[in-house]
Each structure stands twice: as structure tokens, then as C-alpha cells.
A and B are shown apart, each in its own frame.
Chain A
Amino acid sequence: MAVCIAVIAKENYPLYIRSVPTQGELKFHYTVHTSLDVVEEKISGVGKALADQRELYLGLLYPTEDYKVYGYVTNSKVKFVIVVDSSNTSLRDNEIRSMFRKLHNSFTDVMCNPFYNPGDPIQSKTDLMKWQPLNGL
């Protein structure tokens, strides 16, 4: 189960951040923001070598004391970050991968919404919230 999911725009401002322990929101904001550096490093590293076979899933960005931060970048350079509790050892890489895929699908749905203005923070309660990785898969 993720403790925090975040969607970051191409220009690196947050489109959507939600975390389960709401009192630690600020901490997650910092964590996610800092992880962007790693994301960017990974993108630039991948960009040269494997331009064609693009793997959207970036894998574990970095572990902190309490959490593991995973990253995912869409082709339009929108970043997804999922923070998982370190103590949760049952989560495999594949599960994280599928979480990202679901998140990506939800995000695509949001973008398809004609009333959504691309670049705005995602406010809708129904779009991304429909899929609640925070409440368990």
C-alpha cells in the first residue's frame, strides 16, 4: 500500500499529491520534491542510451529511513511518484509497476476529461480518487 502518490507536471510543479497520514503532508511534499532530482537524473541517463525502448517505470528512486520512493515518467514527461512504507516488504517490483500503470490509466482519464484544463492542479474528486491506491489496491 502506498502512503503517498504524486503527479508532477512536466515543469515540475505538483498536479496532485495525496498522502495517507495527512499530518505528515509537508514531509511527503519535501520527499516528492527532492525525488525529482533523481527522476531527472534517471531520465537524462536513459535518454542517451535507450531512446527507443522507453521504459516508463524508473524503479526505486531512493530509500529513506522510513519510506521507499518509486518513480515513473510518462512520455509527456509527467512524473508519477509513489512512496511506500519501508516496513512493507511484501510489495514486489511488479506490484509497484502495476500500481503505476493503474495510476497512468487514471491520469489518462483525467486528461481526457474535456473540462480539465491541462496544467491545472487535479481537483476532481472522482478521477484520480476513483482509484485509491492509498486505501489498498
Chain B
Amino acid sequence: MAQCVQSVQEFIQDSFVPMVAVLCSEDAERVTRKNNLSFPELLRPFCRLTSEGHLRDPNNQVVVVKGLRISVTGINTRPPQSPELHRLLSRTVSVCQPPEGSPANVFTAGDYDLNISDRTVKASVPWYSDWKETLTQLSSSKYYTATTPWFETYRENFLQSMPASEHEFLNHYLACMLVVSSCEAVPTEQFLKLSQEQHRIQHSGEYTHPKWFIPNTLKYYVLLHDISEGDEQRADSVYEDMKQRYGTQGCYLLKINSRSGSTGADEQMPDPWSQYLHKTSIHNPVSATTSLQTHPLQLDHLTDAGYPGNDASQSVNNVDEMRPQKQASGTSHTSPTPRGTCLTLNDHDHIRQFIQEFTFRGLLPHIEKNIRQLNDQLVSRKGLSRSLFSATKKLFGGGKVPEKSIAELKNTAGLLYPSEAPELQIRKMADLCFLVQHYELAYNCYHTAKKDFLSDQAMLYAAGALEMAAVAAFLQSGAPRPYPAHYMDTAIQTYREVCKNMLLAERCCILSAEILKSQAKYSDAATLLIKMTSEDSDLRSALLLEQAAHCFINMRTPMVRKFAFHMILAGHRFSKAGQKRHALRCYCQALQVYKGKGWTLAEDHINFTIGRQSFTLRQPENAVAAFRHILINDSKQSAIQQAAFLREYLYVYKSMSQLAGDGSLPQLPLPCLHSSQTRVFFGHERRLAEGEKQAATHVSLEQEFDRDLSQLWRELEEQVVSVANRGTVPITFQPSQCCLNSQTDNLRHPLAIVEEPIIVEVVFRNPLKVPLALSALCLLWKFTLKDFSGPEDGTTRETFDLNPFQTTALNDIIDTQVIPEFTISPEETKVARLRLLPHKTGELHVLGVVYNLGTGEVGDSEGMWLVCVAGSLAEDLMCVRGQQNLEIQGPRLNMTKEEKTSVRYGPDHRLDPIITPPMPLLEVFFINFPTGLLCGEIRKAWVEFVNVSAVPLTGLRVASTHPEFFTFGSATSDLTPVTPTAAEHCSAYKTVAMPPSVATMSLVSPAVFGVTSGDQPVVAEIPLSRGVLGPGEALQIPLWLRGPDREGVHEINFLFYYESTEKTAKLSHRVLRHTAFICASRSLSVRATASRSNTLHSRERDTEEQQEAEEKNASMLVFVDVENINTSEAGVREFHIVQVSSSSRQWRLHKCINPVGDKDSKLTSRERGKLCFKATRCRTEEGGIVSCTTPCADFFFRRGLQMQRKSHTPQSGTDDDWTSIVKKCSEVELDIIVLWKAYVVEDNKQLILEGQLHVALQTIGKESCSLSQKEETQEMVLLKFKPDVPPPLSKPSMEQLSHLIKTCLHYPESYDHPFPQKSLCMVPVTLTLSNCSLAQVDVIVDLRHKTTSPESLEVHGSFSWLGQTQYKLQLQAQEVYRLFLKACFFQAGVYNLGTPRVFAKLAQTSAMCETSQQSAMPALIIVNSI
């Protein structure tokens, strides 16, 4: 802290001190000049008395005078006149700055820093309540005082320079020192001369200025003796002479200058003068005040920008000049004019002693004498005058009162009493008492004087008396009465309004505020101070407002916001008064309150002002930071305002960057950069469609990132990689990522390929309501050259840094794309795609973006507050170059405990790609690729593979999510048309002429079609000639597509995989993605059922019995229901079933048993047809397919793979179980392929579409459909928390068991028997039992009639089986056994022979089951009687 704070009492005492004039002879002046001081200056540091003085008041009471200070001034120093006073005061204020001087660090701090003058309070908690506590703590702490040294200096200077007024005597001279040098020829003569001079000044009336307290001023004769020069003896003798003449109490011999100035230059001497003199020592006639006529609450244009030659900037310079001077004066030994060099410490003591002597022997007795005199006068006059005056008033007052209008009041305000007026005598006595600290008497006198003045309507005098009465009342030590604040208020009001004397009002206000503050009446003090602000003096208003602000914060509940607001007002007034540093400090302090509280308008205003002030004070960094604040936050300002902010920011920024001038560019705040949303894309931008050709979609920046999709691609890639690596995925496998964003895995450095572009998409947001224009936008990067072709992983050779100023300089290493113009509309979020094309291998680091920032407006410079220097263009001014870094934070880590408890982020290497040697680059085009297909429709398209790189590629494979959707035609097949155009109207199927009834059979194994059970079904290898696709080569291959079985839109993903011919360590393979969308519409629904035929009489009964048995056993009927379920009746006219084929290991379709004669069965919309086929068991175990050429078989087998995958798993568990044996009886493995043609009308043209549908028959009697229903039922699955109880080992159901044994009764349908001849009719019946299963079966045949129901007896009545009626048999696998039975009838009739019950059980098990199937069926026999 620069200065010790006085207590209020001290302050007031020091404000009113006895004034002593000095009249110096020339020689005496010369003696003191040796010390570079005048005589008053010489005395000044010693003017405070350290010991107590005493005097007696009129009542002979001893008054103790403590700590008295006297003021010694030259007789002809006149207080500065008004303009000069202003200058002086403003200079003292501007010189006095807060100690460490950089208020900037206050608002740049991230947390909450409240810096009130010199103490920094750090309160990191943002909310006010906590902050308030901190403040309360502060204000209650005894160490805390918000010191404002500039205000104290101002106050001191102001009070000292108060001109002497008529109505009071406090700053009138009480005494005069006459100083004569001892080396004078005749000192007494000189004394006489000086004495006469003094008398002339006081009494001649020529001089208005020095005012004198009392007519007979105390004259004190001082003989100044220069020890180093003069004759001491002589001086002594002269002094003796003086004592004779003036008495011992009226003269003094002061001996100084004990040493000559030159000798003791090196000696360290205290310099008591420095703190008294420096303020006035500077006489620099520069006007420090510039009035900036702006309202505090408006942001409009200031007319200066700190250009030299401007007033404001001069004042800035001024401040800068003064600072060193101030420092110099602080350490006066280094100053060019050392003071007091001829004085030793002894001399100092001499001076001190002299002052003491003067005061106690000369001044105080003089005052005491005068007080007595005045008192006597007053007492003698009192009785008379009081009564007389009041009597006269009473006598004449009646007439006078009404006349005292306002006009008269004004007159009386200027009323002057003659200097000897009795009223003034009271005042004079009061002042005298006041000066010698006899406050009680002083108060009484003031009080009396006040009454007199008021009754005379002498307002100025009354106000003075009121003011002093209040002060005296305050200063009374015992405090017998409370401080009369209303006296002060009246006084101030009177001074201001009646007397129009602002200086006096101000003094009064300062005193009163100080007193109120000392009594903790901060609120009153603040009101008083605020009232005192006015338009006529900005400096005063500013200082008082600041004090008021401090009052608010010192209140018991600190009023922080009022503090802040008044600080702003003060700051504004300071800036108007040209006190830029103080203005800046005020705003900074206010900002602490407003910052981050949502009061954006106010915050912006403060920041703006801070920015501007900082700029004019040559603190461009702070200015930039402040302006930055306005622009970054979501500003609620109007567009015009924002534009103004932006322009100003750009200007400040530009001037700052000119100052800095070196290589690194500063960061720009605008537009906002969303670093984390940055996307990086490696590879060329592709054109998607080119006429008929449709390029593979691959990955592009337009696509949104989809986590599921990327997972899907990753799986596909894993599969294809594992196929390429013979079934294993390498440990180092890393899915290819072409487009990196915030959601991709960015832990590794991505790989980019030389000569292939890297596109960085940067997201800019313009938070402002004005457009922003960026120009010359490009990426900023760092590149380390490395050679990966060597045996080592890479050898660092050189590092390049893109110079932000010359972006094209390094284009031979990395081609940097520069976007010349990039405008962002107001409040727009826009992406910029910036391209880099590396030409060398190495490591690249994208650091950020560099651009020129300008306003979006074109050449509009009218509204600018800046004054353009001649010749400089507006565009030039409005555009600055800067950069913004792209710093991407990785995802938050959450693996270990440590990471969970702290906030840590992983790395993100999105922007640090490694440039690898060249790799092949594949482009895939699809020709005639359809968008819509009927379910099961077969369509042909072409696919073209082009190697667009300079490196050959190999190992081309494709993986897909829907492998059943497509197949590649073999290039060798004769069905394959040579060119895509020729294929358009060509059927997919080859028609083979053959007799209609004869089914063709050809044997094809699935392996032919590249589908073996162990193979990965999703991956297909694409045959290349010689296995390599050379640079620039293209390959066209037909592609068969089959419409998906289910209707709807299908997304089909292809992943093309390829490798380079030479293995490089960095990148093993590359992939190309394609996503196709196929809309499938309904075509036919095929349902098939197989049923066992029960016929015994097969037509092809062969001679060989065994053969016959097998035929009987193994024939089956297949019913195929075909329904047209196509809904678009307009489009598809009709479907034709062209062919039905089968594929099975054991069965083959034998023959169509349809009654319909025509070959093609037509189905128009909503029609349904049924086909019936007979299937027989093939002898060969080899599977067969009828339509064996591509693509039919291809699609069939691809489909089959899907089915296998689905159905294989449940079977494997129960293989050896007997249930499976039971099941197997009813199992068929028969696939039916239905080929169809559809006649479609499209654009008045008839098209024939072809297709195929597959149905897999699995169980006899169970219907299966071409559309698999499985997926529908799986939509909603209950969430289970407990694992299911495994289902109990299922016993084969009765029905299943009943299929174990097939029974058949052979008998004649009708039997003629002559009953009359022979009453008993015997009919032979053969019961054929055939074992359907592959296991041994025990069979019990019971011929007895059921006894349980009597009715059945009636029905079956009258026949009986003869011979053995119960058999126990054992049938081997597939064995057929015949039982020859005899039925015996007694009469003619119709009989049901189906009574035998057959019980079958597997040989190993105990459970016996009845095969109920046959017995349920009536077997009727007609027995006729002849």
C-alpha cells in the first residue's frame, strides 16, 4: 500500500490548520536554494508537531493541543485558479495509480477474482451467496480497508488548494515569518523592510489575495544562518540584537547547511521532502483532460483510436511519461535534483526545533491572546447587541418578513459583512478555537454564528457556520451530542444551490462523507457522494462515484451490484476526464461482478469498454481478450452492434499482430470451431453415377455415421480377411476406416496412401448475427518425411512445417488446398472440406486451420469508429490472418478405477495420419443394376472392376450380407451374353427341347458351384484373368441377381476386398463398400405338401418282389400350391409356371399327375393353382438337380446354405436318440424349385420376367412355403431372466410312433360265397407290415375284437379271425412282412376288416404303442351270398 490511511479525526484536523505566511529576503532564499528548496518547502516536512502544546481558553481552562500541524507557505503563493486547479488535480490523480498497475490480470483469470483496489480476493465459487460471505469477511477484517490512494491525494490537494474565502477564516494567514539571512549586511534593516512589506500587503488594500486572520498578524523574525558560509559569531550577535528588539518569543536563529553540498553526495540521507513535494514539482503545461462526451450507457463511436496527433493519445503519452517520474521521485537519491544535500540530520533537528519553538512560543500564545480578546469583545457586546438586534428585528421585522422572497434570498447570498462585523467576530473566534482543537468552544461559537447568519439570511456565511459546527460537533472528544448530519446536508445544499459554489460544496461533501463513513453510515455517505456528482467536473464525479461504490461494498450487507454499477459510472466519468487507467481499473472491477452471471448485455458493454480502454493504453493483448469475450459468448446484441464489435476486434487484433509480427499466428475466436465434430476422409471423392454405370457407393463424407452399420461392415471385413488368410484373422487385423469421426475408433494413427487425398471436414459455427467472411482458408500441418520402403519401419529424414503465411510453399510435398472464399451466414453452422494431397510418405499432423477473418460486409466502412490512416484500404483493415487449432479430445476413459474416479481422456489420432507407399485402388461399377424386383425374380446385371491406381491388385473377393441375392456368371458359360446390352432380352434359362412327360434328370453336385459345406458362404472370390488386375485394367463380369424372397426394401451390402501384389507392412489389404437397395414386390407363393401314398398297387409293379416292396414303401405324393399374390394388378399380368424341379439326396420328382392338359399353368392375379407330383426314392445317394446350369443352381445352392445354417443346429443334439429314429420315418429332404415367367406390362411394353422360387419339404404331411415364416414369429421374445428348464426328454408322440409301422390289408374287395351251401365263409387276408424306420421294431398284432365297447361288436358283428389271433413279430429295418390271415364270415354283408390292432415299439424300449393309423381306417369287404 502506497500510503497510510489517516483516521477521520486526523484527516479533518489536517484539513484545517493554522496558516503561516513566509516572507523571505533574497539572501535567505539563496541559502535555502542550495538545497533546491524554498524556505517554506524546507520547513514543510517538519510542520507536524510531535509534542503537545498547551493554552488557556477564556475560562482559564487548559486546552491540550495534540499533533498540531501548521502550514507554512510563501506569502505570494496563490492557490491555483480554476482551470489550473483542474489540471493539477487531474495530473495528481493520473499519476497515482494502483501499486502493481496491471489491472488486466484481474479479468483474464479463469475463476472469480475480485480485486478491490489493492487486495485480490479470490473466490472461486461462482455464486453470489458465497461470494458475499467472502466480502463480509473482508470488510469485517480489521486489516481490510479499500484504499484508493488517488482519491486521498486528490482530496489532500483539493483541500490545500482551496482558495481563501470571505466567509471563513480557516485558511487565512495567522502569522507571518520574516526570514533574513545572517550574511546580510544589515539584517535588522532587512527585517524592517520585510515587516513593512508584510504590513503593506495586509493593509494597503492593493492585494486581494493573501487574506489575513486578524489585523495584527503575528510577525516572527527568523535569522537564517548558513553554517558552511557565514560567520557564526556574527549571526549570534545579530540574534542577540533581535532578541532585544522583538523579544525572545518573536525571533529565532535557524542554523542550517552544516555541510557543503558536494561532499556528501554519496552519503545516504533520508529525504523527508519527497512525499510532500513531488506532486507539485511537475509543471508540465499539457492538458490532461479531454472530454469525451459520451453517455455511460451507450456504446457508440469514440472518436479516437490512439493515432498520434490526437488529444486522447497525448494524454496517454502523458501518463506514460509520468510514471517514470513518479518512480524517480519515490527514490529521490537518483533524481536529478537531490534535495536537502547541504543538510545533516542535525540540521533537520534544528528545523524541527525551530518549528516547535515558533508554535509554542509564538503562535499558540498569539492565538490564545486573540481568543481572549475576541471573547471579551463578544461578552461585552453580547447583552447589548443581542437584545438590541432582536429588539430591532421585532420592531421592524413585521414589515420585513414578507419581503424576503427568493429574489432577496439570492441577494443575501452574496451579502458581505464588513470585516469587522460582530457576526464575523464570533466566526473568527470559532475558527481560532477550532484551529487549536478547542472544539467545544468552537461548536458553541459556530452555533451562535449560524443563528446570527441565518437570521440575517446570509446564506453563504450560514452554510459555512453549519459546516464547521457539524465538524466541530463530530470532533468533540466526549461526543456530548450526536453528529448533526442535517447541518451538513443543509450546508451542501446551500453551497450548491444558493451560492453556486461547487468547490465549497465538494469540500463539505468530502468531509461529511468521511465522517459518515467513520460512523458506518455508508448508505448516507453514498447518497451524499452520488448527489455531488454533476456535469461540471468529470474527475470529481468519477472519484466521488468510486467512493460511493466503495461505500456500497462496505455496508453491513455489501451491495455488490450497486458497487459494480457505480464503478461503471465512475469508470465512464474517468474516461471522460481522460483518466484512462482509472477508467480501465473501474471497469475491470465492475466486470468481476457482472462476469458470467448471465447479464450479457452489461457484460458485453463492460468488455467492450475494457477492450477499448486497454487498446488506447497500449495493452493490445488485454484489448483482444476483452473483445474476444464479446464475440465468443452467444451475444444477445443486435446485429449492428455485433458488426461494430467485430470490426473493432479486427482492428485491434490487426494492430496487435502488427506489433507482434513474428511467425506464429495468434488464435482467432471466430468462427467457433467444433473440433470434436471434425471428420477426416481418406481417398478420392467419387462420382456415383455415370450414365448407365453406377459406381459403388463406398464411403463418403455425406453419409452419417451409423454404429450398427459400421459394426456390420467390420464383421464382413473380418470374414473376408479370414477367408483370404485361409481361415484365420490375423492378430494385427484392423478394420479399414475411410472416414473418421468422433465415434470411430481413433486410437491408432490412420493410414493414408500417398497420392490419394485426405479431406478434413471442419465444422464452423458463426455465433453472431452478422456474416463472417473467411478467405484463404487452409489446413495447417506438420509433416515428417519417412521412408517406409526400407527394411526398418521408417527412417525419419526431415520435418516440414507449413508456414502459415506461405501456404503454397510446400506443395511439392503436400498439396494444400486453399479455399479462397468461405462465407458463413449469421448464426450458421457450416462445414468446410479442406483437402491435402500428400506426395511423399511420412507422418502427417494436421494442426489446425489458418485463414483470414473479415466481416461479411463488402467495403462498408462508414460506421467504423476507426479513422483510417490515409491510403490504407478498408478491406485491408477489416481482414486479419489468424489460426485456430484443432485439438481433439479422445473419448473419456472408463476402464480402470483410476480412470473412473478421475476425468481422463484417451488420445485421438484422427488428424495424425501416416502416409504409406502406393496401394492399388479399385473402382467398381454396376451396369443395369435394378432397383426393384419381384420376389424370386432373376435379373442379370453387369459389374465392372477397374483398377485406377498405378499398382496391380490381386485377391479380389466380395463379401455380402445377402449372399443368396447375387451370383457371378461364369465367363465360360455359353449362356452368358458377351455384352451387357445383348443380354437385355435374353432369358436366364436355357430351354431344352424334350418330350413333355419325361422328366429330365441330371446329376449335379453342389461343389461345382463353389459351395461346399465348410466354406464361408458370404465370401465369394471373383475370378480375375491371371489373378491380377493390372494398373488401369478393367474387367466386366455378369452378375445375376435374384429378388429376395420377402417383399419390402432390402439393403444389401457388398464388401469388395483386394490386396496389393506386393506385401507392404503398413496396409495388408483394402476394401471397397457398396450398398444397394432393392425393393422386392410380391410374386408367387408356393406351398408344398408331401404325403405318403398308401397305395399298394403301384403301376410300375415289377417282377422282383423286393423291388416292388421298396416302390410301395417309398413313393410319396407332393402337392404344390401356387398362388399369385402379386398385388399390382396393373403391372404383372400373369404368371406362368414353367417348370418344377426337385433337388434331393433321396427323392426325385417323378411325374406330374395333373389332370390339366396344357403345359404352362397360367395364374393371373389372385389365382391359385395346385400341382401334384409323385416322388420316388432314388436309388443313388447322390443328389440331383434338374435345372443344372447357372444361375438357377447357383441360387438354389446359395439358398440352401442359408437353410442349412438355420436347421443344422437343433438336430445335432439328439442324434443317437431313438426319437430321432422315429422322427426320421416321416422326414423327407426334398427341395422343390419352381421356375416361373411373369408377363409384365410396363410403359405399354410387355416384358417377360423370369424367376425361381424354392420350397424345402422336410416332413411328410407338413406344409412348407416358399416364404419362410420364421422371422415373423421371432419378433417379440419374452425377456427371460432365468434359463429355461430344459424340456423333458420328449417322448415320441403317438402320432410319430404310429408312423413306425405301416400296415396294409390285402383282400378281395368282394367275395362271393354260397352261404346256403356252406355256412362258413373263409376269406384269406394278407396283412402287410412294413417298418418305416431304420431300427428294429417289435410288433404285436392283436386280431381280437375290442371287447371294450359292445356297440362295436354289433357293428363288426359277425365275423371272426381264424387261426392265430395274436402275433409277436420283430421287424428289421425297412423290412416288409406279410401275415396271412383268415377271416371267417357267417353271412353275407359288408364287413369292416380293419380291426387288427398293431402295437409297435422300438426293440430297445419298453413302451408299447399302438399304431392306430390303420385301424382307424375302415377296410370294407363285401361278402355276397350266391
Q: Give residues in A with beta carbon < 8 Å to B.
A: 9, 11-14, 24-27, 29-30, 33-34, 36-38, 40-41, 44, 121
Contact = CB atoms under 8 A, between A and B. Distances in A.
Interface in B663-678: none
B221 interface: no
B557 A29 contact: no
B292 to A, nearest CB: 18
Interface string B362-378: 00000000000000000
B561 A34 contact: yes
Contacts of A27: 297
Given A12-B128, A14-B599, A37-B552, A30 B557 contact: no
B557 A40 contact: yes
B601 to A, nearest CB: 5
A12 B605 contact: no
Nearest to B605: A26
A25 B299 CA distance: 12
B128 A30 contact: no
A40 to B, nearest CB: 7
A33 B567 CA distance: 14
Nearest to A39: B561
Nearest to A17: B601
Contacts of A25: 601
B598 interface: yes
A41 B557 contact: yes
B572 to A, nearest CB: 11
Contacts of B599: 13-14, 29, 33
Interface size class of B (residues with CB under 8 A): 20 to 34
Contacts of A26: 297-299, 601-602, 605
Contacts of A33: 561, 564-565, 594, 599, 602
Contacts of B601: 25-26, 29
A42 to B, nearest CB: 11
Dominant secondary structure of chain A at its interface with chain B: helix
B562 interface: yes
A106 to B, nearest CB: 20
B1071 interface: no
Interface string B584-628: 000000000010011101100100000000000000000000000
A13 B602 contact: no
B557 A14 contact: no
Contacts of B298: 26
Contact of B602 (A12, A29, A37, A41): A29
A33 B594 CA distance: 9
29 contacts: A12-B128, A12-B597, A13-B599, A14-B598, A14-B599, A24-B297, A25-B601, A26-B298, A26-B601, A29-B599, A29-B601, A29-B602, A30-B297, A30-B568, A30-B602, A33-B564, A33-B565, A33-B602, A34-B561, A34-B562, A37-B552, A37-B559, A37-B561, A37-B562, A38-B559, A41-B557, A41-B559, A44-B557, A121-B598
A131 B405 CA distance: 52
B127 interface: yes
Nearest to A62: B562
B560 interface: yes
B1247 to A, nearest CB: 54
Contacts of A24: 297
Given A11-B127, A14-B598, A26-B601, A36 B561 contact: yes
- 7 nearest interchain CB pairs? A13-B598, A37-B559, A34-B565, A37-B561, A29-B601, A27-B297, A37-B562
A30 B597 contact: no
A15 B8 CA distance: 44
A27 B599 CA distance: 12
A103 to B, nearest CB: 19
Contacts of B598: 9, 13-14, 121
B335 to A, nearest CB: 45
A26 B565 CA distance: 12
B1032 to A, nearest CB: 60
B1034 to A, nearest CB: 58
Contacts of A14: 598-599
Nearest to B563: A37
A30 B565 contact: yes
A38 B552 CA distance: 11
A9 B128 CA distance: 12
Interface string B118-147: 000000000110000000000000000000
Given A24-B297, A33-B564, A37-B552, 20 more contacts: A11-B127, A11-B128, A12-B597, A13-B597, A13-B599, A14-B598, A25-B601, A26-B601, A27-B297, A29-B599, A29-B602, A30-B565, A33-B602, A34-B561, A34-B564, A37-B561, A38-B559, A41-B557, A41-B559, A44-B557
A7 to B, nearest CB: 12
A9 to B, nearest CB: 8
A26 B602 CA distance: 6
Contacts of A11: 127-128
Nearest to B562: A37
A37 B594 contact: no
A11 B602 CA distance: 17
A9 B561 CA distance: 15
A38 B299 CA distance: 27
Contacts of A29: 599, 601-602
A27 B560 CA distance: 18
Interface in B552-589: 552, 557, 559-562, 564-565, 568
A33 B597 CA distance: 10
A120 B605 CA distance: 23
B48 to A, nearest CB: 41
B345 to A, nearest CB: 54
Contacts of B127: 11
A134 to B, nearest CB: 17
A37 B560 contact: yes
B1211 to A, nearest CB: 56
Best-surrounded residue of A36, A38, A44 (most CB of chain B within 10 A): A36
Contacts of A37: 552, 559-562
Nearest to A15: B598
Contacts of A40: 557
B636 to A, nearest CB: 9
A14 B602 CA distance: 12
Contacts of A41: 557, 559
A9 B594 CA distance: 15
Nearest to B298: A26
A64 B599 CA distance: 20
A134 B239 CA distance: 87
Contacts of B597: 12-13
A11 B561 CA distance: 13
A105 to B, nearest CB: 24
A25 B637 CA distance: 10
Contacts of A9: 598
A90 to B, nearest CB: 28
Interface in B528-563: 552, 557, 559-562
A27 B562 CA distance: 14
A25 B599 CA distance: 11
A88 to B, nearest CB: 22
Interface string B278-315: 00000000000000000001110000000000000000
A30 B298 CA distance: 12
A40 B555 CA distance: 13
Contacts of A13: 597-599
Nearest to B559: A37
Nearest to B299: A26
Contacts of A34: 561-562, 564-565
A3 B1288 CA distance: 83
A34 to B, nearest CB: 4
Nearest to A44: B557
Contacts of B557: 40-41, 44
A12 B562 CA distance: 14
Nearest to A8: B598
Interface in B382-434: none
Nearest to A25: B601
A18 B551 CA distance: 31
